[in-house]
Amino acid sequence: MTLTQTGTRGFRAYTAKHLDDLLKRAGFDSDTRLRIRAVASVLPFRTNAYVVDELIDWSDIPDDPIYRLVFPQEDMLPEADVSRIAGLLRAEASSREIQAAANAVRARLNPHPAGQMELNIPRAGSEPMPGMQHKYPETVLFFPKQGQTCHAYCTYCFRWAQFVGEPDLKMASDDVEGLVRYLREHPQVTSLLFTGGDPMIMSGPVLRRYVEPLLELEQLESIRIGTKSLAYWPGRFVTDPDAAETLRLFSAVVESGKNLAFMAHFSHPREMDSQVVQTAVRAIRDTGAVIRTQAPLIRSINDHPDTWVEMWRVQHALGMVPYYMFVERDTGPQDYFAVPLARAYEIFRDAYARVSGLCRTVRGPSMSSTPGKVCVDGVTEVAGRRVFVLHLIQARDPSLVGRPFFAHYDPDAVWISDLKPAFADRFPFDPAIVGQGDLVAG
Ligand SMILES: *Cc1c(COP(=O)(O)O)cnc(C)c1O
Ligand code: SF4
């Protein structure tokens, strides 16, 4: 199966060539449409008929949260960049010229944050294994080659580099044998996480080729699949021709004695309203899989405690397990979507205080940064100083997990790199002597 076939299964795909018509439907004038298309040449656009017809409220443009997640916005990139590319589009410049301008902008958007190209790529002997990441001892990430696109491109997604077709920016693999060999050589790995893009873009038979060989590995306790499909392509588990086969594969994982952890990305409660989503949740749960939920906190989309209270409550009622609230990463249009850490903590705490203990499985707000997942536990005063209290939920160096540390309070900080250590001259994960040691995981 090839990627182009994805549009023929399930919901009809909308791509860049449909963007102008969709924007007309939203009522934008021609100049604005050109500027939005300029942004889309940098941050790729793709969605489907379910998102467009069932999820977006077209009477509430541009404020509708699903619209804002999926559609590029004209002020998402620096004004000069948007104007330059809009000018090229207006002058009907060659696609090569437009691509070159778009690539120059992309290079400035930190396409691979958190050391993902330098620090996390495992090796077989001296050979790097692209399409894999081994950052935390017990978990390996695998980027299946056919899963490097998505049912809709949320413009906030840190995976955008996977979608732009630039080989230098992309990491992906179809070497399942190499993966199995690597896992056998690293028996400390107990969890394998398929990610992307979105692995659930793969058809049932393709997914099976990746998953089945892992069932014989006794060391694996869980196989995870990170996906937006439950929100944006629920028919994948209900009405698509390969729905039954996919669910049988999930059952086979559970029957092999492993946890099939379905990591569902939900960004807004609206994404759980439809009957087909609820039917899909039941079908997946009936296989014995456990659905955990996660999403970043995004300005103008879900930056209110009520939104999270509703999300966690509905998820819990449907039998899903809230898992992570993430902080918007330092990539792509971060400036556009970032919520200050101090505000993120308030939103998390306000929402957390209003749900039952059974929903308080959720952790956050969490930054997936170079040293690991840094959680903002609170803002408090220690020895007369206002500080952030932080801890690592996951760490490249496991001895640092769960140890509190402090940073000076800064109401504008949006990422760990904005913070300065308090009561210490460095953070626990900062090297004592710069340049010392081999940081490569795995
Ligand atoms: C989040 C993440 C994981 C999984 O971490 P858990 O705490 O086990 O959910 C694994 N690898 C990378 C690179 C991650 O960012
Ligand atoms: S992979 Fe998920 S978060 Fe990223 S663009 Fe697709 S739907 Fe959005």
Domains and CATH numbers, the chain: 13-106 (no CATH), 115-288 (3.20.20.70), 330-442 (no CATH)
Residue corresponding to tokens 């804002």? 68
State the DSSP code for 191. E
The closest residue, in CA terms, to atom 4 on ligand 1 is: 139
pLDDT of residue 7: 44
Q: How far is the CA of 103 from the centre of ligand 2 (A)?
A: 20
Average pLDDT, stretch 220-226?
98
Looking at the CA of residue 368, tell me the nearest atom of ligand 1.
15
User: What's residue 301's pLDDT?
Assistant: 94
Stronger pLDDT, 437 or 100, i.e. the higher one:
100
Please give the structure tokens belonging to residue 366. 């969490």
Q: Confirm or reject: Cβ of 135 under 6 Å from ligand 1.
A: yes
Whether the pLDDT of residue 120 is over 90: the answer is: no
Residue that has been written with the tokens 């390996």 in this structure: 140
Q: What is the pLDDT of residue 4?
A: 34
H/E run at residue 260: strand 259-265
Mean pLDDT, rounded, for 151-167? 73
**Strand-pair category, 222-227 with 259-265:** parallel
Confirm or reject: Cβ of 363 under 6 Å from ligand 2: no
Determine the pLDDT at residue 114: 64
Please give the pLDDT value at position 119.
77
Q: Which of 157, 297, 298, 334 to mutate to test the pocket of ligand 2 (most atoms within 8 A of CB)?
A: 157
pLDDT for res 5: 36
Given pLDDT bands bounded at 50, 70 and 90, which one contains residue 168?
low
Does residue 198 line the site of ligand 2, with CB under 6 A? yes
The dihedrals phi and psi of 170, each to the nearest 5 degrees, come to -100, 145
The protein residue whose alpha carbon is closest to atom 5 in ligand 1 is 394
How close is the Cα of 299 to the center of ligand 1, in Å?
23
Tell whether ligand 1 has an atom less than 6 A from the beta carbon of residue 136.
yes
Query: What average pLDDT does the chain have?
Result: 91
User: Which pLDDT value is given to residue 115?
Assistant: 67
Contact 265 CB / ligand 2 (< 6 Å): yes
pLDDT of residue 322: 98
Confidence of residue 63 (pLDDT cuts 50, 70, 90): very high
Number of H helices, E strands in the chain: 15, 15
Predicted TM-score (pTM) of the model is 0.92
State the average pLDDT over residues 242-271: 98
